[in-house]
Amino acid sequence: MSHHFTESEERRELRKAVAALGARYGERYFYAAAQEDRKTTELWSEAGKLGYLGVSIPEEFGGGGGDIGDLAAVCEELAIAGCPLLLMVVSPAIVGTVIAQYGTQEQKERWLPPLADGSQIYAFSITEPDAGSNSHNLTTHATRTADGWVLKGGKTFISGVDEASHILVVGRTSDQRTGKLKPALFMVPTDAEGVTWQQIDMGVISPEKQFTLFFDDVHLPHDALVGSEDAGLEQLFAGLNPERIMAASMATGTARWALNKAVAYAKERDVWGKPIGAHQAIAHPLAQLHIDIEMARLLTQKAAALYAAGDLMGAGEAANMAKVAAGDVAARAVDTAIQTHGGNGLANEYGLVQALAASRLSNIAPVSKQMALNFVAQFSLGLPKSY
Ligand SMILES: Cc1cc2nc3c(=O)[nH]c(=O)nc-3n(C[C@H](O)[C@H](O)[C@H](O)COP(=O)(O)OP(=O)(O)OC[C@H]3O[C@@H](n4cnc5c(N)ncnc54)[C@H](O)[C@@H]3O)c2cc1C
């Protein structure tokens, strides 16, 4: 029986290497790209070449053959360095997992290697204006034709459409027998005729943007359908655990980044003849953050370990709990770091005020805090469903 609470030696080496890459970029690079309307292409392709983006993709499709915990470690380390890459949650974690698990051999050969080496990015779209948290209300749907499918509908808040070669779209097909709409997943090229999008004016400072998407009778070949038409929901859920584990890791990374900045400042800044960090009103919130970040990381690593071991329900529970813990601590860490910096907390030079909106993101997307709490209330506590 193993008694290890720490990650494997291999995982820790991976973290060190990714941290070194992140240190060469950092938040100045990230914010400059956002403000100058550039992308994080250099960082993304370097991470791809080094095998970090594809670390959890099977080796036979150009990946590293690791698990979601490895990919989460990459995402967390880059966030600690000040580069929280939202598209890591989307492209390798959600889309990569769904294709690797449910794609045909041909689909895996076609789509996974460029994802793993970073040469292609895939967006993921489920959210719709009139469905939101309630995916039972999705209306985007595909109709079968002689030569494939015709997709109609729209999505909102979809990240990275402008950078993506394809979008994995959660739509529905109508069941000929029952007339019911069933969820189904489609890979849609962003340059297909009938696909248009519009950037949403967001307050989040990031090179990665959000879009409203429109599918106006988009013709797709038969093999745009990923996985079976009859196992839509199960396939969708396959991507949800990785999504939550990744979102939690990005949040704990952001929290650690903010805490590191606050601690450094509290050791330096001296207005009463000793550093402000000597005052417990400054020191204790930082110590508490250190504890709470560690708790959120442990839960996240537990979720990743359960997922790798094939315990999907156990992983789901831990991943939802981790996401709530991590989302809260990310928001509090950025807030506390700003307070620790006094006026400088709101000066652009210190790089914290820019993270304020992003620090709220983990409690909203990819799934809101309330929906994660609903899961824990119903699944862990057996409370009745309210909706
Ligand atoms: C920066 C950003 C990037 C995003 N990227 C993507 C992406 O790439 N792909 C994608 O598909 N989507 C993406 N989203 C969308 C995101 O997943 C949704 O915003 C999120 O799921 C919440 O849906 P909503 O905004 O419609 O909120 P709503 O569903 O309208 O909810 C509003 C509020 O009500 C609460 N609420 C709703 N139902 C319940 C309930 N039953 N019980 C308790 N509380 C409830 C919610 O928690 C929330 O606080 C992104 C969003 C943002 C902000």
CATH number of the CATH domain containing 89: 1.10.540.10
Among 154, 158, 150, 219, smallest CA distance to 191 is for 219
In a domain, 3, yes or no: no
Distance 366 CA to ligand 1 centre (A): 7
Residue 32, Cβ density class (10 Å: 0-12 exposed, 13-18 middle, ≥19 buried): exposed
Ligand 1 contact, 132 CB (< 6 A): yes
Query: Does the Cβ of 289 fall within 6 Å of ligand 1?
Result: no
CB 210 within 8 A of CB 159: yes
93 and 213 inside one domain: no
The confidence score (pLDDT) of residue 340 equals 98
In a domain, 183, yes or no: yes
Which residues constitute the domain of residue 83? 9-121
- Kindly state if the Cβ of 138 falls inside 6 Å of ligand 1: no
Ligand 1, atom 18, lies closest to the CA of 365
Which of 205, 364, 385 has the most ligand 1 atoms within 8 A of CB, as the residue to mutate? 364
Number of the ligand 1 atom closest to the C-alpha atom of 123 = 8
CA 368 – ligand 1 centroid, Å: 6
Distance from Cα 1 to the centre of ligand 1, integer Å: 41
CA 172 vs. chain centroid, Å, equals: 23
| Rounded-to-integer distance, Cα 344 and Cα 132, Å | 37
Residue found under tokens 């392709």: 45
Torsion sign across C-alpha atoms 109, 319, 362, 21? negative
Residues 240 and 341 in one domain: yes
Q: What is the pTM of this model?
A: 0.96
Determine if ligand 1 sits within 6 Å of the CB of residue 124.
yes
Per-residue model confidence (pLDDT) at position 178: 66
254 shares a domain with 164 = no
* Element spanning 196, H or E: strand 195-199
Same domain, 334 and 237: yes
* Helix, coil or strand: residue 82: coil
* Angstrom distance (rounded) from CA 311 to CA 68: 13
CATH code for the domain of 242 = 1.20.140.10
Give yes or no: residues 274 and 371 share one domain.
yes
Nearest to 203 by CA among 36, 359, 38: 359
What is the predicted pLDDT for the residue at 136?
84
Domain for residue 303, yes or no? yes
184 lines ligand 1 (CB under 6 A): no
- Report whether residue 88 contacts ligand 1, using a CB cutoff of 6 Å: no
The predicted structure's pLDDT at residue 238: 75
| pLDDT at site 236 | 73
222 and 254 inside one domain: no
Q: Which residue's CA lies nearest to atom 35 of ligand 1?
A: 370
Residue type, 89: V
> So what's the pLDDT on residue 176?
60
Q: Is residue 159 within 6 Å of ligand 1 at its C-beta?
A: yes
Q: Looking at the structure, tell me whether residues 153 and 29 fall in a common domain.
A: no
Same domain, residue pair 86 and 98: yes
Q: What integer pLDDT is reported at residue 227 of this predicted model?
A: 87
- Name residues whose C-beta falls within 8 Å of residue 169's C-beta, 6 or more positions apart in sequence: 125, 140, 151, 155, 185, 186, 187, 188, 215
Which residue in 43, 46, 68, 49 sits closest to 58, CA to CA? 68
Pair 171, 290 in one domain: no
Atom of ligand 1 nearest to the CA of 387: 41
Query: What's the gap in Å between 147 CA and the centre of ligand 1?
Result: 35
Q: How far apart are CA 273 and CA 259, in angstroms?
A: 23
Structural domain count, the chain:
3
- In whole angstroms, give the CA distance from residue 58 to residue 163: 24
pLDDT score of 230: 72
What Rg do the C-alpha atoms of the chain give, in angstroms?
21
Low-confidence ranges of the chain (pLDDT < 70): 1-3, 175-181, 231-233
In a domain, residue 175? The reply is: yes
Is the distance from the beta carbon of residue 107 to the nearest atom of ligand 1 less than 6 Å? no
First-residue to last-residue Cα distance in the chain:
42
CA angle 341, 345, 350 (to 5 degrees): 100
Asked whether 89 lines ligand 1 (CB < 6 A), one says no
Q: Is the CB of 92 under 6 A from ligand 1?
A: no
Which pLDDT value is given to residue 79?
A: 98
Same domain membership, residue 210 and residue 179: yes
375 lines ligand 1 (CB under 6 A): no
User: What is the position in ligand 1's atom list of the atom closest to the CA of 374?
Assistant: 42
For residue 271, being part of any structural domain is answered with: yes
CA distance 181 to 163: 30
Cβ atoms of 33 and 82 within 8 Å: the answer is no
Q: Are residues 361 and 345 in the same domain?
A: yes
Residue 237: the pLDDT is: 73
